[in-house]
Structure 1
């Protein structure tokens, strides 16, 4: 029943008011400014869900959302009073707190008793609001679809000019949106498709939906394939343009074309493939094999049909093969490698591609293409061998060594055993390689490798570490056993090598480190063995050395020695000592050899055996050798000017000096500046410097033209042979003192010396014997007609002043 604070005398009117379907409130302004509810129909009671009494105790503000109420109060009151009408939207609050959007219509009603009432009529607009929200959401969704769609979405006006395009259009066409909006769609269409596309656009303008594929050209002149669906834009029953979606199918088209070609070749693949092509049923039994399969397996198709293929797989591959095959039964193609037995029970390695056979979406069988990779597997094994072995010597290489020494360390830890590392470097290998060429160098390395393999024991492993370096890993050993082996190897390695009918002697320098005494890890052991070998190199080569702490100090000392050597010439620390050479026939002075001495300010007198190897290695031997040449010429010219007997002074040339391009020019300049007659200068070369016969011969001939004499020092210990001497302009052969030392007691040495003298004389070459220390030496050498003698029997090397005194005294007594 309607609740009202009004006095109404018309029951019929009240009944009508109570049954109006829209909620109606009658309100009245109060003195306190509130708007009181003075009447409400049944629809209003239901609308607010309050009881009659509860509703009548409320004000309009109590049942209206606060911010909406504030907006309502902003209505132009004067306009409402004049028009007596207002309409707006509001939000009511029901008893349970829920909110109802409403449309409010106000009517101002003036009564005869001077009361002014406001008729508030409401309409629930929840549905309208839901629709509005839906429209807003839909608009946002459409905007997201437009913005984030990976396909091109575009709009054209009725002239075909772009009026909108999404970001995907920019990405695919490689144009900015601003550039695209200035263009017609025909600007992008490939000439091949342009005429057709114009017709299709006209179809859209005629209110048709068009699906088409066409080629377009992007900003980088790349041709793309697009799949386009275009529909007309119709506004007020008029076509205003077109909207379209374009999907880039360039890659997809390429794939389809390839698939089409594949399908066309399908039967050829099956029947004529050089690889094995096989088919299986769902139980893994053979249903088809091609001719290549028959050849590979040795079975006919009839023999294989109906047999399960898994029975032919080698045992260790069965589990994995079944696992891969199960993937194919789930519709997935797979590739893997496996191995099977052929009819002869030989292993055949295969790379297989296994493909499900799908017919109308159902799996009906399996295809398999098997490529025979047996040779490839063998090649891989060969590559693996090559990765761990040196291609030249066939020895295990450095990579293999690093693996092996790890194993050796682990074994030594487990068994509490010892092992040793021999670091072997070939002496003068670089000189041989430079002189004779890499072919001879390679031949020598192979010969050394064969000799090492022949003579190492079973518990030793030989590796080529690099260049002319070899490493021997001797397991389960002691220092005593290592010493026995290294001395045995030294004796074997110094024996001559026959390289293409050329007899070559090469000596090794060997450094040895012991596990665990010298180190417990690979790097330390290698470093210390290398240090020991380096020490051998510096102290004369052709020897071996176990690592010790003192070696490390001496290596450091060598670097200090190099630093001091660089300062020696500026400090005038070098001097020449002279050792006389005696003519065997006249017993007179024949000549003298100038020998370099160094008296360091810091270290005192240093042996040539210590500083000469450092000078050669660092290249300082070149300026030092030039100083020797100048000083020897100066001193000999001074002796001549002082009326001493005239005789040649010999000096040693290093291999670095010999191969200087301007050696002859420098020599001529020194001789000219000194004023010495060049016939009184003798240049000594070592036998090892003559390996490159042609080059050496050319250089020596040029030196001979300068008027100097040439002698070959240390003959019999190097690479040369008497036959090669015919090619060199040699004046003297100096027989190495190692042969002279034991001629009194050793028949072999006597025979060697006698043979050298005889053959040299036959070649019209004079001989000089070094290391003459006893009267027995003198007697034997004179008996063999050796021309010149040199050694401590006559005098040790002397400074210039002392040599002058010796010379005066010798001449008096002879």
Structure 2
């Protein structure tokens, strides 16, 4: 029977097939010959004409090293099998490209055998497969490196996979996870709720909830879970979820009384900025929190590099930190950037590498806004090195600057001058015009001194009405020129709220290296020279001379009397109550020493305590104070009063005596006072030797006593001290309290100190509370304990019981 198509028609059909078709003739020997026919699609696909292709063999079309195509064809096709393979085919003009070849052996009636190959261009498919592979690797990277738990559960409720974070949190190894039903690790109160959420997932819903799970070692862990159904071919085959450990966060949230901050997921709803960077630092992805923090929207940042947004001072460091993260390890650092408004934003950055086939393809970035923390630190660090009242550098900064000045003087073989300046009649001005006017005068003097000095000189407030000037690279003649300028400048009156006041200085000068080669000697000799200037009538300057009498010698008589004060029972303690701000009850008293001498009368602690420090008498006096205070506190308890805390000030010399802790323990045993009712107050200056101070404080804390830092904020504090010292109370210096009702800056400083203390679990005590306005402000802003004349002046021990009773009655 004849076919329905002619040979010409068969040829036309062959040419209209859209896939490339090649016909290869087999020789009688079975050897593969040349192409005997190709269609138009083959010519278009390869770039060769039909005539050119009919001159070629299959191997001539291959671009790979796979030259054994004949063997492959013989092995499979000659057995009658149809084979499909992927090869790299040449193109006459362009680059080689991947193809899929489907080959079959056919035999015609004349026993002539041909191999027919259909060749399809699979470049588009390969590109799709590669993109899918890349996406899969990125997803795996996020799965493996994610600090949150990621898990999958099958429809029967058993875990099918978890990431390393889940193994770490749940304490179950991955090899055992398939044998665990998810309900078996849910805490009992959450089982029914969790089961309902799982059922909702299997119905195609997305769920978000908090739950408590129990790890393998019975630890209860609070998790924030977001879970979605796994859908393949419109069929739900399980659930996948992300869980973040929020145990600590929830504890903090409960402590902060229902904080408004709600936990959000790591991705779009994360409260912290989440960014993905390309290897060159350009933005690939950012969440809404990033937009809110920076002020830029996604369209403004995607494709741009982060570098222009970093402040210049941090740019080089930030580039180095980013380069470190590009080495493949998670990395953390802090930096600062400008937001869209041009404001500085400080950030704590966590960088996580994105790994694909062991190669890094980008960086995940999580940022934490630490701007407020940095501002508090900057303010406290400024306070640590500057006098609050005048804004001048303080003793702490003087010590640092002096070390550098000495180093430079030695290096360049130069001289320097140290000026010790004390104001004449300042106490009289302060007493007659009031402390507020006295403070104003000190501010104006500080401004005048700063304006007077050149770049090679710096002025420091040393304390009270004393100033130190450090004049670098200057000889005695140049120092004399400056001293004369100071005297002339001080002859000009100050306008103090309508009152014209002239205050003169007495100036003592010591020279390095002629008068000494260390700070202690130079200060002492400049101080002696200043004292000599006062003896000569004040309002003059004197260089230190070897024949000058030390001003301490002038006080031999007082020192002799002070040595006998303990023996003659001339010392006494008075007590100033401390009031609980929230409960309005007396929670403690501060013991304050007084000296009543028959000849000298009532001597101020400001006069005899420095002498006691210098002579070493402070050690027995301090021991007497602690013992007397403990005995008195125990006596009040024996009278039936509720126990209160007795606060006792430690001097710096007393603090650093080698047996302080042993002596305190001995006194506590001797007096029978419970250690929790004794509080020892240190000053910020004692923190200068941080390592030694830490050991002393830890030894005292082991006894069970409390530790308070007195006069906080007056110039020595550092965040490191507060972090490392076992401090129970911070006593805000009264200089901050004085103008609290009128001075907004004072208010901001006090609220910052209170917030800092509470963040460190330290209670705040405000000293010098004298008015109802001061009390109300401190109570409203969370200060814990108040002390000052508003409640009571320091009184004798016999008046304390009556005060406690009357205070409770009134309040």
Question: Which TM-score tier does this pair reach, normalised by the shorter chain?
Answer: 0.3 to 0.5
State the structure with more CA Rg.
Answer: 1
Greater RCO (Cα-Cα under 8 Å, separation 6 or more): 2
Q: TM-score, normalised by structure 1?
A: 0.38
